[in-house]
A and B are shown apart, each in its own frame.
Chain A
Amino acid sequence: MSVGDPEIVVSAASAGVGSVDAPAPELAAAKIQGRSPWRLAYERLRSDRAAVICALVIVLIVLMAIFAPLFRLMTGHPPNHQYFDTGLSLDGQPRSPNGTFWLGTDDVGRDVLVRIAYGARVSLIVGVVATFLTVSIGTIVGLAAGYFGKIVDTILARIIDVMLSIPFLLFAIALASIFSQASWNQGFWFLPAGLPIVIIVLAIFSWSSVARIVRGQVLSIREREYVEAARAMGAGPWRIMIIDILPNVIAPIIVYTTLLIPVSIVGEATLSYLSVGVQPPTADWGQMISDAQGNYHAWWFLVFPSLALLVTTLAFNIFGDGVRDAFDPRSGRMFK
């Protein structure tokens, strides 16, 4: 952040003592509405150019996922249709980008562009649902461990230690193959076949890190005087956890959530790449990358899905950094 940026200077001043920026008494009277820490964070986020650009990119990707059928309409190609005559060359090789197939075709003659658009759905669903599940479990466990302490904390801390020491990929592949035929794994609602187990596996393996962060925060917040004040007034443990402690750990949770979404997306792509994720023929970035490996000369088949994955994760990561800076302006940035 450059010091000369006027927007930043204003928000930094108001972050300290709110009354400083009141210019005149009559104006101050009109401005009596308090500025919440959320609003201050939002204003800081808005002045972070990289984060704003990444937010726009994320919005574009979300739109691409929602309006994937539009790509189908524009090109006239359904995502799973195999164009054996127009989509493949005479010797059965994928076609390079051209007027009909803007980003080329894959090894069985499907339109790469349409499949990337539909693949965004899978990635975002996993990113959101798995992260939501992870953060929910992690927050509940972390709150309980941190607040109740003693024996609860000891047991939960041991479970977290065990979870963190299990090799992720080995276990994930095993679980995904065991449950690949399970009835609840055959797709329901908006989840295609194979995705439920991927989401569960990702949540099982990431909640422990969220729980650790939340637990640490709760341990320090539990000792604050305002928690003591709440207890002195007769507040019960649930009220204290939800009203007094949770709002103070929500900022690190949000930061971790935005950084966890790309991790989940990559995790899903990894599992699909290893063909234990989403079942074919559902379009999926990880699976496309995996299929492309056998076709060395069809660069478009490898590059475009990889690029989609890269841009998505990069956008979420930089946006997540921006969110962290917005919530905690004192922490230094990694990159200027």
Chain B
Amino acid sequence: MSVNGDAASSGDVLLRVDNLVKHFPVQSTSLFRRSKDAVHAVDGVSLEIRRGETLGLVGETGCGKSTLARCIMRLYDVTSGRIEFDGRDITRLGSGPMREVRRDMQMIFQDPYGSLNPRRRVGSIIGDPFSIHGLGDGQDRKRRVQELMELVGLNPEHYNRFPAEFSGGQRQRIGVARALALRPKLIVCDEPVSALDVSIQAQIINLLGDLQDEFNLTYIFIAHDLSVVEHVSDRVAVMYLGKVGELGGVDGVYNHPRHPYTNALLSAVPVPDPDRSRERERIILVGDVPSPVAPPSGCRFHPRCPKAKQRCVTDVPELIPRLDDPPTHVAACHFPVADGENIADSRPEISAEERVVEGGLVGNV
């Protein structure tokens, strides 16, 4: 599953994100407003996505996953940094040329109820990409829409129905069909299964997998469910407070997690074996994610990190290979977790005011 180093050096990169920053100004709503605070939603993220692979993007709510996706889709204007898609710099592309690019990048949204216009028939929703880009005429469009519906497992006869007449899973299939209409190169899936029943999740994930094989699609797959990401992704990026904490192939990240945050996330994944589950020591993080308006100095994870030392407060860790990892597996941590190390028992070695209010960060269950 995991992609090794030579693919990275080859020129087959579809999307390159370089030091991307997105700040949202915190506004006061007076007539003459001035803003000096900003939410640091995405703060210097660099990624590469290769043709045909799936990059999983995981992290807690509010870590900037969706903002990153929307910046890549150019739904938000980026504050700084660079986005290169298919060899073309699209960071500041005007709306005209951007329309062309949008044919090749599509998005699947989280909420199957909110992402379909309730006042429009399913046929015209799926046909939107054709009408927006002026492709085909009435009959031709209808035929292509019905083909798409069949492709994603919907009854083409339901062309004339409204979104309210479909279940959540069927609605998500409509969203998939719409994203697929123009045969894009990249599809950004923003938590495409989080709003669905577990039984339906598998169907949608399998559908996405089949379509990837058939059309050689590239996915950015955002989720907070680690087991889903492990299943679908070739590589995984773990985000925390607007930064990438760890990035690498699925095998590397899941079997040799270097960042304490990755370790904490993985220890929270439910294990289907109750004996193993009881033996396992969970790493409990204390406190909430700090405010992205004023992110912590140094390593952003240090107020909650069980391994934090003084250096974590002052120095920003680089995203580089740690210990004896291959160059494709990088982590942003001064004191990476070695294989077999149990960080559930470690205690931070920083002053109390640098930590979150509750003090003792780590507890065992």
Nearest-CB distance from B204 to chain A (Å)? 16
Is B109 a contact partner of A37 (Cβ separation < 8 A)? Answer: no
Instruction: Say how far A52's CB is from chain B's closest CB, in angstroms.
Output: 25
Range class of the A interface residue count = 20 to 34
Within the assembled complex, what's the spacing in Å between the Cα atoms of A193 and B122?
Answer: 50
Q: Which residue of B lies closest to A16 (CB)?
A: B164
| A234 cross-chain contacts in B, Cβ below 8 A | 98-99, 102-103, 129, 132-133
B115/A225 in contact, CB under 8 A: yes
Residue in A36, A225, A228, A233 whose CB lies within 8 Å of B128: A233
- Contact A228 B161, beta carbon cutoff 8 Å: no
Contact B109 A154 (CB under 8 A): no
In the complex, whether B119 has a CB less than 8 A from a CB of chain A is yes
Q: Are B75 and A231 in contact (CB under 8 A)?
A: yes
CB-CB under 8 A for A35 and B162, given A232-B73, A232-B106, A247-B119: yes
The winner among B115, B133, B157 for most chain A CB atoms within 10 A is: B115
**Number of B residues contacting the other chain (C-beta, 8 Å)?**
37
Contact A34 B162 (CB under 8 A): yes
Is A48 engaged at the interface, CB distance under 8 Å to the other chain? no
Given A18-B165, A231-B75: A32 in contact with B98 (beta carbons within 8 A): no
Q: With an 8 A cutoff between CB atoms, is B95 at the interface?
A: yes
Question: In the complex, what distance in Å separates the CA atom of A34 from the CA atom of B165?
Answer: 8
Tell which of B119, B128, B161 touches A32, judged by Cβ atoms closer than 8 Å: B161
Whether A248 contacts B118 in the complex (CB less than 8 A), given A228-B109, A232-B102, comes out as yes
Q: A18-B161, A18-B165 are in contact. Are A248 and B98 (CB under 8 A)?
A: no
A32 touches B106 (CB 8 A): no
Which B residues are in CB contact (< 8 Å) with A225? 109-111, 114-115
Nearest to B161 among chain A residues (CB) is A34
Inter-chain contact B161/A248, CB cutoff 8 Å? no
The answer on a CB contact under 8 Å between A17 and B119 is no
Cα of A32 to Cα of B106 in the assembled complex, Å: 30
- Residues from chain B with Cβ under 8 Å of A154 in the complex: 31
Q: Is B222 an interface residue (CB 8 A)?
A: no
B117 at interface, CB cutoff 8 A: yes
Contact assessment for B75 and A232 in the assembled complex, using a CB-CB cutoff below 8 Å: yes
The one of B99, B128, B162 in contact with A230, judged by C-beta atoms closer than 8 angstroms, is B128
Cα distance, A301 to B133, chains bound together (Å): 65
Q: Verify A244–B165 contact, CB threshold 8 A.
A: no
CA distance A230 to B132 in the complex (A): 9
Residue picked from A37, A228, A234, A247, most chain B C-beta under 10 Å: A234
| A33 CB within 8 Å of chain B | yes
Q: A232-B73, A235-B128, A239-B132 known; A36 and B162 CB under 8 Å?
A: yes
* B73 cross-chain contacts in A, Cβ below 8 A: 232
Contact in complex: A37, B119 (CB < 8 Å): yes
How far is B113's CA from A17's CA once the two chains are assembled, in angstroms?
Answer: 13
Query: A244–B118 Cα gap in the complex (Å)?
Result: 10
Task: List which A87-121 residues lie within 8 A (CB) of chain B.
Answer: none
Q: A18-B162, A32-B157, A229-B107 are in contact. Are A235 and B119 (CB under 8 A)?
A: no
Pairwise interchain contact A233-B115, C-beta atoms closer than 8 A = no
Determine if B160 is an interface residue (Cβ-Cβ < 8 Å): yes
Bitwise interface map of A from 231 to 249 toward B, beta carbon under 8 Å scored 1, else 0:
1111110010001100110
- Nearest Cβ distance between residue B142 and chain A, in whole angstroms? 15
User: Is there contact, CB below 8 Å, between B102 and A233?
Assistant: yes
A248 to B178 CA separation, bound complex (whole angstroms): 20
By the criterion CB–CB under 8 Å, are B109 and A34 in contact? no
Q: Is the CB of A34 within 8 A of B132?
A: no
Chain A nearest CB from B349 CB (Å) reads 45
Report if A181 contacts B (CB, 8 A). Answer: no
Task: Considering the complex, give the chain B residue whose CB is closest to the CB of A250.
Answer: B119
Interface 1/0 per residue, A7-30 and B, CB below 8 Å: 000000001111100000000010
Q: What's the least CB distance linking B32 to chain A, in Å? A: 10
Contact with B along A217-232 (1 / 0, CB 8 A): 0000000111011111
The answer to whether B132 touches A229 (Cβ under 8 A) is no
In angstroms, Cα B106 to Cα A234, docked, is: 10
Contact assessment for B118 and A235 in the assembled complex, using a CB-CB cutoff below 8 Å: no
Whether A18 pairs with B115 at a CB distance below 8 angstroms is no
Residue of B nearest to A224 (CB): B114
CA distance A234 to B103 in the complex (A): 8
Q: Which chain B residue has the least Cβ–Cβ distance from A37?
A: B119
B160 touches A34 (CB 8 A): yes
Q: Is B238 an interface residue (CB 8 A)?
A: no
Known: A228-B75, A233-B132. A17 touches B165 (CB 8 A): yes
Given contacts A17-B167, A29-B157, 5 further A-B contacts (CB under 8 A): A225-B111, A230-B132, A232-B73, A234-B102, A234-B129
Of the A-B pairs whose beta carbons lie under 8 Å apart in the complex, a sample of 23, sorted by A's number, is A15-B164, A16-B164, A18-B164, A19-B165, A34-B162, A37-B119, A225-B115, A226-B116, A228-B115, A229-B107, A229-B175, A229-B178, A231-B75, A232-B106, A232-B107, A233-B102, A234-B102, A234-B103, A234-B132, A236-B95, A247-B117, A248-B117, A248-B118
| Chain A residues near B (Cβ < 8 Å) | 15-19, 29, 32-37, 154, 224-226, 228-236, 239, 243-244, 247-248
